[in-house]
Structure 1
């Protein structure tokens, strides 16, 4: 699902921007390699697209995360879950370092929030889903990138209503178009 949405985002932005994908097939890429791809390309922005999960099947909605050294208890729990995937593949996510200094960290966080806030609102509105807001969290995939970045949670894989939208190609294209529109606005 996220690969499909990512490819649609690339289609939307490809004529205007050099879009670099961390993967082109449905394979797991370790978290540190994802951010390394962006750093190696000297990317101006890192966008990681995900689908959320919860033990509660009534959990629903869209949320966007930005890198923060300090996390709310909720954001910390989501980041720990996402980071655990790297650990399942033998990666020590604690060793993924953020190299930038404090001034760059603050500036990148400000830029990331500037993209996260309007994106969450428009995705929730267009998809008629709950807006779960934006959150700062210590995601390994965001921590490893040396610039502004966001992690987009498109919905919950264990919520039937969300899944019906997440698996619908028409809805995937709408999500991708809105992500692309907000990325364009970010750079304007």
Structure 2
């Protein structure tokens, strides 16, 4: 095979249109991990670095474009991965968690009900001593390495993934104010927060809905899990029996509701699956540790959030509350639900419907997110 580990999986002539990179999938364990690139069409794929020299695999795909920003935590031998644009194509970089290298790679054409191409890369752990010297690397083209590898190796700059959930929607209108429905206020606030976060360049923002549609509560949780979210924030507007009630509050998951989180264990999460099988005592300990860590991170963020929004919105006397709300149930995603105010209170509704007031509130929420991810986690004190 020619130097550079190039594998031509396309016709000899260049495709006139970009090839879509649909998805990156990982499977396997610490002995061997498989990476699958879902491609809309065939493409030219080159292994720039096979991982043996510096624990980073780099794959260059000329003429390929990702449909969206792709990144995520790893699995098995892969610690983290990301896709970026480089030299007229896409580049997949993967940091390895241990000494390993590319073992095999091959193309699967559309077949057996799958309508797209799949480029498969298998990574295997290195036997014996660690392969750390450049001289031990595989036959990688020097020109490719110079052109497509970073000048200095540092941790992949993965963006934090924030899922913004606009409460209610579609047939579920939420609370009713004198000037309209809660669902519309929630969506406007969610879109403002998304814009604010994306402008920083530090976040990948996933919306559970971006229009007036109904999304089931459990689906919203699944969206956060599929996105490998670092934080889930659900935006709501409250309603009370007394129209004099006003103020914002933040909910996190209650201890009593924690066991309901087992229904949201990912089928692909080996650690969480281990928590729910085998010895009852071990199962409970593993699951409780995961759940407790998630609840702690949620509570820490709730406190940070309240400290940032208090200048833009009045707070209820007991502003940090807990409940068994479905959108808070993901056992592996820190989550809060922000009640931004009461839509049946004239002052709160006017504030929430005013674009400038709403923008200032969402600026404060974004600042809280910056603060949260900018500091080391600390134990929450309730």
Give the whole-Å Cα distance in 2 for the aligned partners of 1:166 and 1:102.
Answer: 38
**Cα shift at 1:126:** 2.1
Q: How does 1:11-26 map to 2 (within 5 A)?
A: 11-14=195-198, 15-26=201-212
Q: How does 1:33-52 map to 2 (within 5 A)?
A: 33-52=219-238
Number of aligned pairs?
A: 165
2:329 corresponds, among 143, 168, 176, to 143
Give the whole-Å Cα distance in 2 for the aligned partners of 1:64 and 1:121.
Answer: 11
Q: How does 1:1-188 map to 2 (within 5 A)?
A: 1-14=185-198, 15-70=201-256, 97-99=263-265, 101-127=287-313, 129-131=314-316, 132-144=318-330, 146-188=332-374
Give the whole-Å Cα distance in 2 for the aligned partners of 1:25 and 1:148.
Answer: 24
Report the TM-score when normalising by structure 1: 0.81
1:98/1:134 CA distance change after superposition, 3 Å: farther
**Cα shift at 1:97:** 2.6
Of Structure 1 and Structure 2, which has the larger fraction of its residues in strand?
A: 2
**Cα shift at 1:96:** 8.2
Quick one: higher RCO (CA 8 Å, sep 6+), 1 or 2? 1
Report the TM-score when normalising by structure 2: 0.41
Q: For residues 67-117 of structure 1, give each alpha carbon's deviation from its aligned partner in whole angstroms, at most 9, with x where no partner exists.
A: 12338xxxxxxxxxxxxxxxxxxxxxx898343611111111111111111
Cα RMSD for the two superposed structures: 1.9
Of Structure 1 and Structure 2, which has the larger fraction of its residues in helix?
A: 1
**Higher mean Cα deviation, 31-40 or 113-122?**
113-122
Give the whole-Å Cα distance in 1 for the aligned partners of 2:315 and 2:336.
Answer: 19
Partner of 2:5: none
Rg larger in structure: 2
Runs of 4+ in 1 over 6 A off after TM superposition: none
Cα pair 1:96 1:140 within 8 Å, conserved: no
1:105/1:95 CA distance change after superposition, 3 Å: closer
